[in-house]
């Protein structure tokens, strides 16, 4: 046995053929199978140090399943059909979907990657060129690199497994190298595979559409394949790369396995159950409309996939996903800094503004406690509708007669940060950029070409386009001394075709991935020059809410729907996979501009307080009492901002978006302070007056004070629960605390002596 110990991470090789990555929380065990390929033995709760006898037990499988094909005449009963594998390949006794497909001259290759050697690394620096997980120093992560070789096809495959200190996560990616003397074509290449020994799970995915993104969906697993995917050039409003397999819908108990991609382009995440009820989870680049020409001695590496594990139910998964993302994906500088309370002018003015109107709003925003003034769409070119000026990133002199620098100086002089909206990936037909460079637009060379929202997508597969866009944006950032950028992307890709690729004899099947790399390149250029500028991601709202975006943007605009009731469902789903700190919230006007719903200022603010807070309504026209409410809430939020943004977030009732009641909480690290948000969407007639929500997270040995009033033991709150506010039921007008539809109460619970 060979052991390499680094802090709480241990890497073991047992009997020369089995590899064990583990920390205090998890174990991941892989082995060299009889045929020389890599097999999977275990992923789950930490097994501690494994003995030779343990490994022998894990590996024993002497009987062959019925109806299978033997791998070769030399391996006895061995077949890949019933073996758990680390990176399976279709067609050599395994007929399930494989992780990699390669062809040469239109001939499919049936690949046979056998173990060659391994290496261990402990450095995983943050590199802006590619969104990936990172570690600081040599003590936070251990990466096992397993090199495998297909001698007959002269391909080399390296599987990367990274385990992190005190994280219930294994990060996977794969690199393939062409060692032949001729080009080959990659037609499918997954980032990660996880084989599980049974199918006693429900699959959770996050689905929806524009204005209703990332609602929780449940699927019962049966023999066959269920998949979520995107072919939009972005992760998309309809599906998210995150999927989870849960033993039950219990919030606090039971095993959960999940995966997510550190990627913002076309993806597929799928689960396949075979005839023996074994489960295979795979995630990676969507193979549809994907291909990659791999020239001699060239390599291709997949995006990273994060494989999560929890044995504490759905809340345990949320805790694992949030903790890992904040520490190892998002730039850590944003954990230490207060997220600014933003005023965004969009729903206050839309395109109808000038400098004086904005300054009036800014002065009012400052008076009531806001910290960052963001000028949204409409500040550039001749942008008075959404059908003009994208790609002309010059300040509109009619709106800013003294230029953006003079305006920004006035904003900064008020003590506010300055922010601007950009949509750098798009171009409008009326701009000089479009007229001078029609070949910089994504479109095929045929007559009929789609147009969406009056705009085209720029060809970010072309490095010259990315550089040109940055050279337009950079002077504006410098002139405005920007603190904050909102990066939007309002149109998905159609007729995916790059004239640049054709000119350079690069297959068009590489377009989508090269486009994603171009987006990453623009982020890299901006953040290299302006590392302290906060970029908020946006894609028509939540059309690109993923780990690839969070690598560059510490927060994302989750939906163009700012209605607080809808945000309950959006946040509930999003928080399964992403931290509360990534969820940008704006209190907007009522009735709401997207759904026309009328909600109270208190309700809207009690929803928006969970995460980075902002406002997006015409504060110059609000009555004094409502302005005072906003001012009081901002003062309250500032006192508790770190807890609302970085506290441990939990669901306390249900994650079903159809549930009428939503209750969630944030807590500090020592369980001495909590906020519990209680929300009821619709009033219910003649309801019981005494209802409780259990608080499993409190310390039963402490005493807590609720809203500065009752003092209750943690044991009572944990086992009986927190009393819900009395709802008006037609007969209790003198004691009811909540009336009508869209009810909310924010409990503040603090430990006392």
Residues 315, 250 contacting (CB under 8 angstroms): no
Residues 301, 192 contacting (CB under 8 angstroms): no
| Total residues found in the chain within this entry | 753
Query: Is the Cα torsion angle 118, 119, 122, 128 positive or negative in sign?
Result: negative
Residues 110, 92 contacting (CB under 8 angstroms): yes
Query: Is the Cα torsion angle 358, 363, 365, 371 positive or negative in sign?
Result: positive
Secondary-structure percent of the chain, ordered helix, strand, coil, rounded to 5: 20, 30, 45
DSSP assignment of 125-173 equals: ---TTS-----SSSSSEEEEEEEEEETTTTEEEEEEEEEETT-SEEEEE
What count of Cα atoms within 13 Å lies in the side-chain half-sphere of residue 40?
24
Between the two ends of the chain, the Cα-to-Cα distance in Å is 52
Residues 414, 362 contacting (CB under 8 angstroms): yes
All residues at 6 or more sequence positions from 327 whose CB lies less than 8 Å from its CB, including other chains: 167, 335
β-strand partners of 146: 118, 159
CA distance 285 to 270: 11
Q: 668 by DSSP, 3-state: which?
A: coil
Q: 87 by DSSP, 3-state: which?
A: coil
Q: 439 by DSSP, 3-state: which?
A: helix
Phi, psi dihedral angles at 455 (to 5 degrees):
-145, 160
What count of Cα atoms within 13 Å lies in the side-chain half-sphere of residue 516?
25
CA distance 531 to 527: 4
All residues at 6 or more sequence positions from 576 whose CB lies less than 8 Å from its CB, including other chains: 204, 206, 216, 242, 244, 314, 317, 318, 321, 655
Closest CA to 26 of 44, 42, 7, 41: 44
Residues 431, 391 contacting (CB under 8 angstroms): yes
What does the DSSP 8-state code read for residue 621? G
E-strand spans in 423-468? 426-427, 456-457
β-strand partners of 100: 189
Helix axes 355-367, 403-413, angle to 10 degrees: 20
Residues 370, 615 contacting (CB under 8 angstroms): yes
The reply to whether omega before 510 is within 30° of 0 (cis) is: no
Closest CA to 520 of 552, 482, 484, 490: 552
What count of Cα atoms within 13 Å lies in the side-chain half-sphere of residue 478?
7
The residues that are catalytic are: 488, 560
CA distance 115 to 156: 10
CA distance 425 to 448: 22
DSSP assignment of 7-41 equals: TTEEEEEETTTEEEEE-SSEEEEEEE-TTSSEEEE
β-strand partners of 664: 651, 677
Query: Do the strands 239-246 and 256-261 form a parallel or antiparallel pair, or are they unpaired?
Result: antiparallel
């Amino acid at each position: 046995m060979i052991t390499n110990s680094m802090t709480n991470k241990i890497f073991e090789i047992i009997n020369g053929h089995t590899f064990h990555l583990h920390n205090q929380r998890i174990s991941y065990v892989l082995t060299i199978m009889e045929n020389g390929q890599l097999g999977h033995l275990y992923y789950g709760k930490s097994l501690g140090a494994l003995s030779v006898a343990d490994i022998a037990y894990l590996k024993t499988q002497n009987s062959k399943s019925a109806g299978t094909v033997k791998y070769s005449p030399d391996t006895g009963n061995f077949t890949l059909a019933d073996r758990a594998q680390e990176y399976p390949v279709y067609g050599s006794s395994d007929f399930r979907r494989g992780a990699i497909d390669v062809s040469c001259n239109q001939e499919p290759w049936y690949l046979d990657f056998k173990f060659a050697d391994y290496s261990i690394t402990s450095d995983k620096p943050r590199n802006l060129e590619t969104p990936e997980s990172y570690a600081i120093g040599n003590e936070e992560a251990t990466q096992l690199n397993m090199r495998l070789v297909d001698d007959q096809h002269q391909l080399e495959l390296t599987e990367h497994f990274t385990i992190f200190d005190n994280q219930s996560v294994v990060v996977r990616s794969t690199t393939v190298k062409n060692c032949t003397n001729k080009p080959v074509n990659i037609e499918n290449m997954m980032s990660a595979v996880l084989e599980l020994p049974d199918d006693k799970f429900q699959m959770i995915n996050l689905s929806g559409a524009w204005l209703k993104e990332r609602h929780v969906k449940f699927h019962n697993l049966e023999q066959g394949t269920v998949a979520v995917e995107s072919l939009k050039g972005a992760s998309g409003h309809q599906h998210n790369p995150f999927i989870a397999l849960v033993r039950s819908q219990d919030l606090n108990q039971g095993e959960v396995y999940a995966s997510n991609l550190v990627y913002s382009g076309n993806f597929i995440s799928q689960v396949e159950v075979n005839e023996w009820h074994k489960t295979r989870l795979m995630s990676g680049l969507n193979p549809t409309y994907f291909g990659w020409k791999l020239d001699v001695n060239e390599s291709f590496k997949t995006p990273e996939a994060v494989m999560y594990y929890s044995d504490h139910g759905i809340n345990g998964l949320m805790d694992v996903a949030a903790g890992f993302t904040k520490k190892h994906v998002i730039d850590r500088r944003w954990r230490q800094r207060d997220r600014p309370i933003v005023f965004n002018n969009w729903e206050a003015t839309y395109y109808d503004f000038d400098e004086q109107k904005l300054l009036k709003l800014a002065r009012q925003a400052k008076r009531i406690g806001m910290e960052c003034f963001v000028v949204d769409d409409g500040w550039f070119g001749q942008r008075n509708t959404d059908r003009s000026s994208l790609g002309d990133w010059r300040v509109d002199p009619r709106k800013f007669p003294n230029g953006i620098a003079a305006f920004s100086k006035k904003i900064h002089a008020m003590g506010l940060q300055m922010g601007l909206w950009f949509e750098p990936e798009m171009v409008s037909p009326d701009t000089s950029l479009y007229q001078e460079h029609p070949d910089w637009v994504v479109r095929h060379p045929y007559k009929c070409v789609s147009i969406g929202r009056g705009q085209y997508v720029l060809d970010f597969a072309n490095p010259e386009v990315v550089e040109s866009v940055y050279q337009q944006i950079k002077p504006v950032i410098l002139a405005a001394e920007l603190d904050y950028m909102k990066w939007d992307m309002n149109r998905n890709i159609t007729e995916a075709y790059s004239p640049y690729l054709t000119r350079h004899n690069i297959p068009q099947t590489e377009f989508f991935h090269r486009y994603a790399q171009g987006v990453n390149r623009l982020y890299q250029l901006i953040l290299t020059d302006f590392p302290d500028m906060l970029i908020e991601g946006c894609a028509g709202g939540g059309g690109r809410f993923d780990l690839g975006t969070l690598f560059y943007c510490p927060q994302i605009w989750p939906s163009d729907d700012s209605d607080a009731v809808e945000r309950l469902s959006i946040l509930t789903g999003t928080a399964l996979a992403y931290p509360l700190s990534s969820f940008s919230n704006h209190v907007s006007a009522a009735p709401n501009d997207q759904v026309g719903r009328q909600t109270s200022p208190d309700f809207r603010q009690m929803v928006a307080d969970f995460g980075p807070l902002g406002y997006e309504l015409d504060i110059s026209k609000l009555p004094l009492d409502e302005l005072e409410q906003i001012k009081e809430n901002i003062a309250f939020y500032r006192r508790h901002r770190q807890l609302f943004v970085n506290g441990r977030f939990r669901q306390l009732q249900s994650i079903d978006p159809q549930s009428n009641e939503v209750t969630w909480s944030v807590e500090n690290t020592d369980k001495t302070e909590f906020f519990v948000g209680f929300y009821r969407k619709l009033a219910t007639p003649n309801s019981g007056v005494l209802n409780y929500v259990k608080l499993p997270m409190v310390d039963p040995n402490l005493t807590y004070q609720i809203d500065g009033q009752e003092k209750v033991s943690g044991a009572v709150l944990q086992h009986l629960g927190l009393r819900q506010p009395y709802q008006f039921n037609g007969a209790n007008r003198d004691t009811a605390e909540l009336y009508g539809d869209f009810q909310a109460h924010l409990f503040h619970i603090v430990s006392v002596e």
